[in-house]
Amino acid sequence: MKQFIFNFLFFLIGANAFSQTVITGKVTEEKGNPLPGANVYLQGTYDGISANERGEFKFKTSKTGQFTLVAGFISYEPFSKKVELNGDTIRMNFQLKETFNQLNAVTITAGTFEASDKKQAVTITPLDMVTTAGAAGDVFGALQSLPGTTINGESGRLFVKGGDSEESQTYIDGSLVCVPYNSSEPNLPVRGRFNPFMFKGTIFSTGGYSAEYGQALSSVLLLSTNDMPAEDQLDLSVLSVGAEIAGTKLWKNGAVTGTFTYNNLQPYMSLAPQNYHWNQAPESKTGALSFRQKTSKTGMLKVYSSFGEGGFNIRQENLDMNRMPFDYELTNRNYYLNASWNDKLGEKWGMNAAASYTNNQDDIHFDQKTVTKQILGTYLKNAFSYHINEKFTLKFGGELFSKTYSQNVKLPSETHNNSFNNLTFAGFTEAQVYASSKFVTRIGVRAEYSDYLNRFNFSPRLSAAYKVTGKSQFSMAYGWFYQNPVDDYLLYTDQLKPERADHYTFSFQSSANSRTIRVELYYKDYKDLVKLNGSEFYLPTSYNNSGSGYAKGLDLFWRDKKSIKNGDYWISYSYLDTKRDYRNFPEEAIPTFASKHNLSVVYKHWFGSIRSYPGANFRYSSPRVYNDPNSQVFNGKKMLPYRSLDLSWSFLYRQNIILYGAVTNVLNFKNEFGQRYSDHPDSNGNYPGKAILPSSNRMYVLACFITLTRKGNANQLEKIE
């Protein structure tokens, strides 16, 4: 009996072994590369195995009948197939497709430096705008440490890739800033009107930007303001040039922040040597109110309003009157209102509405002349996005920009009044299509109409990017970009066409382990630039669109936060080759604002033991050209190269008190920005000239930042650390 039972069990085990099915094969990705560790299993069972280093798998199962065989791997779409288990060997090869995820997919970076919490490859942040030595807390000053920009010390404005400063536009929360800079006298630098502390993210596009933005031949700067604050807060800032107080009040779904700033450079200038005689040093008063309100789980309404008043009086020499001194006095008043609303309209729809209003007036008195300039600007935009699926997004919208520019000139014997009003209508549409997580393309078109010029423009835009590895990619961008002629020309004629620039941009970017490298080549073809063909600037016939030009170059950027513990540095270099025949140029020539070589080296280091954060910035710009009317060659003279080594130091005195100091040009390099000349020759037939100097060879800043909160542990370190 025992022998019978033993033989019966042996038979059952042998029959079961005989009925096992062997499943074998290989798992690869689309290019045929193996996927080691891929899981292969029978759905609804515990039978399965992981692939080896060659992507191969083999396992046995005693199941019979029809089952589903599944192969899966992280970041790849699972693949399944029905199989019949009947004791035979089944050979099955799987080829898995990579799962698409927009968070990990390639992004278009051609011509764009982006800094926000949405991007892994952050190159410069609003924090950098404050901590970069030499920037002096100025948004535009900090951006001049990036490739593609040229330092113009006598201006302070952005000059991007061979473009004039008037070819750049600034947006806050999607709305145009009509007058982004403070007012100043010719040949003295300006600053931006806005505090970097109010922004959470920055996109600086130096070319090839989206069809959503127009009226900019060279670049757009997109600034996003802060969202909801964490708690009530009072900030006090005392500087060597002024003081600021800011208070924030928070409620359940909203907050309001009020700021008042007063600056007066008279005490500072009485101690620091100046290159000019100031009858009244620059003085300004600014008040701002920022309101934020959540309108839904995904919606946010932001309103920002500011009013500023300032001025100065400086002694100058009249080169046409035997260098007789005269006083140049300027008073500026600026009111700016900005509002934006962002929300989702269902699962697939999104909307961004933005509006702004500007009232800017300059009152200028010099040499028995009075000039009053006023800009009234109203901007409205509504943009919609429709996410058809993860791989296809459509964006479209429209905008209206109304601008009134007036100029009143009072001379001893006569008065001239000129003004114009222009309504610019624009519509845009753009599709972003992901062929895969490695390739994306953005195709768009923009249409604009100017009622003052009675001109219609059509602008195609195309950009694409291909991810080579998980951290590296190539990008390209192409497009037509239009901009209306400058206001001073439109005062006298409405017979001009918008100026045009065609952009071609190719870039490579790699970011890994807190290191970023970026290389970019570009070419810009300028068409229909405005030229003056007569000395009578007030005649409409003195203007035409026969001008042209080009700009080409190479930009390099390297940032490293990893190699040096607690250290952070970046190196920025630009090569620029550009010429233009426009405005009053007698021939094609290098414009005065362009420098062939630009270099910036920035380093910052945190010393925890002494709670300090010093920084250094070395800037170099090769000699620019300028025109000497005594020379036979137009723009044939060269300035001195621009050089400056700037230092800063931040010290955390207490948890809520920070001390800060900075100095520019510590090595006292001699910097000049060419010469200005009289309009008429003297008795010897020579045009008298005078060097254009910086307002001072060095700039010193001392500051104390104090933060008061209920918990008492907050500070403004995030602004300067």
Contacts with 477 (C-beta within 8 Å, 6 or more apart), sequence order: 108, 110, 111, 207, 208, 209, 461, 462, 463, 464, 503, 504, 505
Percent with pLDDT over 90 in the chain: 49
Which pLDDT score is estimated for 309? 94
Give one DSSP letter per residue of 387-434, joined into a string: EEETTEEEEEEEEEEEEEEEEEEE-SS-EEEEEEEEEEEEEEEEEEEE
Are residues 420 and 556 both part of a single domain? yes
Are residues 50 and 131 both part of a single domain? no
Are residues 263 and 313 both part of a single domain? yes
Average pLDDT of the residues in 118-141: 58
Backbone angles phi, psi at 118, to 5 degrees: -90, -15
Domain assignment present for residue 105? The answer is no
Reported as a single tens digit per residue, the pLDDT across 297-319 is 889 999 999 999 999 999 988 88
Identify the band that residue 75 occupies on the pLDDT scale cut at 50, 70 and 90: low
Q: Output 350-353 pairs: Cβ under 8 A, ≥24 positions apart.
A: 350/384, 350/385, 350/386, 350/387, 351/382, 351/383, 351/384, 351/385, 352/174, 352/381, 352/382, 352/383, 352/385, 352/397, 353/381, 353/382, 353/383
Average pLDDT of the residues in 642-647: 94
Are residues 368 and 472 both part of a single domain? yes
Domain assignment present for residue 106? The answer is no
Contacts with 529 (C-beta within 8 Å, 6 or more apart), sequence order: 499, 545, 547, 548, 549, 580, 581, 582, 583
Are residues 59 and 139 both part of a single domain? no
Report how far residue 523's alpha carbon sits from residue 208's, in angstroms, rounded to the nearest whole number: 11
Q: Which residue has the tokens 């000349």?
A: 677
Average pLDDT of the residues in 487-497: 93
Domain assignment present for residue 420? The answer is yes
Question: How far from 220 is each of 167, 271, 324, 578, CA to CA, in Å?
Answer: 9, 38, 42, 20
What's the number of domains the chain is made of? Answer: 2
Six-digit token string for 399 = 């905008």
pLDDT higher than threshold 80 for residue 132:
no
Beta strands 700-708 and 675-677, pairing class: unpaired
- Check residue 665 and give left, alpha or beta (phi > 0: left; psi -120 to 50: alpha): left
Six-digit token string for 702 = 């001392």
Which pLDDT score is estimated for 714? 54
Q: Which residue has the tokens 């090595």?
A: 667
Average pLDDT of the residues in 559-588: 92
Report how far residue 693's alpha carbon sits from residue 677's, in angstroms, rounded to the nearest whole number: 14
Q: For the ranges 193-202, 608-617, 623-632, 640-649, which has the lowest average pLDDT?
A: 193-202
> Exposed/middle/buried for 218, CB within 10 Å: 0-12, 13-18, 19+?
buried
pLDDT higher than threshold 80 for residue 72:
yes
Domain assignment present for residue 255? The answer is yes
Which pLDDT score is estimated for 240? 87
- Per DSSP, the chain holds a count of helices (H) and strands (E) of 6, 38
Are residues 180 and 89 both part of a single domain? no
Reported as a single tens digit per residue, the pLDDT across 322-359 is 888 889 999 999 999 999 999 988 888 999 999 999 99
* Helix intervals (H) in 157-283: 266-271
Are residues 54 and 173 both part of a single domain? no
The last residue of a domain, from among 96, 123, 145: 96
The last residue of a domain, from among 40, 61, 96: 96
Please state the separation of Cα 660 from the chain's center in Å: 26
Beta strands 472-483 and 612-621, pairing class: unpaired
DSSP bridge pairs for 305: 289, 337
Reported as a single tens digit per residue, the pLDDT across 157-184 is 889 999 999 999 999 999 999 999 998 8
Three-state DSSP class for 615?
strand
Give the domain CATH number at 665.
Answer: 2.40.170.20
Q: pTM of the full predicted structure?
A: 0.82
Reported as a single tens digit per residue, the pLDDT across 216-268 is 999 998 888 888 887 888 888 888 888 989 899 999 899 999 999 999 999 88
Most trustworthy range by pLDDT among 96-105, 132-141, 179-188: 179-188
Task: Identify which of 465, 446, 504, 560 has the alpha carbon closest to the alpha carbon of residue 211.
Answer: 446
Percent of the chain as helix, strand, coil, to the nearest 5 = 5, 55, 35
Are residues 170 and 252 both part of a single domain? yes
Question: How far from 688 is each of 322, 679, 684, CA to CA, in Å?
Answer: 9, 9, 10
Average pLDDT of the residues in 379-388: 93
Which pLDDT score is estimated for 36? 85
The last residue of a domain, from among 71, 96, 121: 96
Strands (E), 513-611: 515-532, 543-560, 567-581, 597-605
Domain assignment present for residue 272? The answer is yes
Greatest Cα pair distance in the chain: 139
* Of residues 428 and 123, more confidently modeled: 428
pLDDT higher than threshold 80 for residue 498:
yes
| Residue 624 lies in domain | 112-720
pLDDT higher than threshold 90 for residue 381:
yes
pLDDT higher than threshold 60 for residue 47:
yes
Are residues 658 and 561 both part of a single domain? yes
Q: How far apart are the first and last CA of the chain?
A: 88
Question: How far from 53 is each of 27, 42, 78, 92, 708, CA to CA, in Å?
Answer: 10, 21, 19, 17, 59
pLDDT higher than threshold 80 for residue 596:
yes
Domain assignment present for residue 69? The answer is yes
Report how far residue 612's alpha carbon sits from residue 660's, in angstroms, rounded to the nearest whole number: 10
Report how far residue 12's alpha carbon sits from residue 2's, in angstroms, rounded to the nearest whole number: 16
pLDDT higher than threshold 80 for residue 63:
yes
Give the domain CATH number at 15.
Answer: 2.60.40.1120
pLDDT higher than threshold 60 for residue 17:
no
Report how far residue 210's alpha carbon sits from residue 431's, in angstroms, rounded to the nearest whole number: 10
Report how far residue 564's alpha carbon sits from residue 253's, in angstroms, rounded to the nearest whole number: 42
Contacts with 364 (C-beta within 8 Å, 6 or more apart), sequence order: 328, 329, 330, 370, 371, 372, 373
Identify the band that residue 413 occupies on the pLDDT scale cut at 50, 70 and 90: confident
Domain assignment present for residue 102? The answer is no
Q: For the ranges 375-384, 496-505, 526-535, which has the lowest average pLDDT?
A: 526-535
Which pLDDT score is estimated for 533? 85
Domain assignment present for residue 672? The answer is yes
Task: Identify which of 142, 195, 190 has the alpha carbon closest to the alpha carbon of residue 166.
Answer: 190
Which DSSP category does 76 fall into?
B
Q: Which amino acid is at 94?
A: F
Q: For the ranges 194-198, 229-233, 522-526, 554-558, which has the lowest average pLDDT?
A: 194-198
Which pLDDT score is estimated for 711? 64
Average pLDDT of the residues in 477-495: 94
pLDDT higher than threshold 90 for residue 105:
no
Are residues 88 and 117 both part of a single domain? no
Decide: 552 and 590 in contact? Cβ < 8 Å. Answer: no
Which pLDDT score is estimated for 58? 92
Are residues 53 and 118 both part of a single domain? no
The overall average pLDDT reported for the chain is: 86
Which pLDDT score is estimated for 9? 41
Identify the band that residue 683 occupies on the pLDDT scale cut at 50, 70 and 90: confident
Reported as a single tens digit per residue, the pLDDT across 425-480 is 999 999 988 888 788 899 999 999 999 999 999 999 999 988 888 788 889 999 99
Q: For the ranges 14-28, 187-201, 448-462, 606-620, which has the lowest average pLDDT?
A: 14-28
Exposure string (b/e) for 436-465, b if CB count within 10 Å is 16 or more? ebbebbbebbbbbebeebebebebebebbb
Q: How many CB atoms lie within 10 A of CB 255?
A: 22
Are residues 87 and 146 both part of a single domain? no
Q: For the ranges 196-210, 541-555, 572-586, 683-697, which has the lowest average pLDDT?
A: 196-210
Question: How far from 591 is each of 336, 543, 588, 634, CA to CA, in Å?
Answer: 33, 19, 9, 10
The DSSP element (H or E) to which 360 belongs, if any, is strand 349-366
**Sign of torsion, CA 523 529 534 535?**
negative
Identify the band that residue 134 occupies on the pLDDT scale cut at 50, 70 and 90: low
Average pLDDT of the residues in 492-502: 95
Contacts with 469 (C-beta within 8 Å, 6 or more apart), sequence order: 510
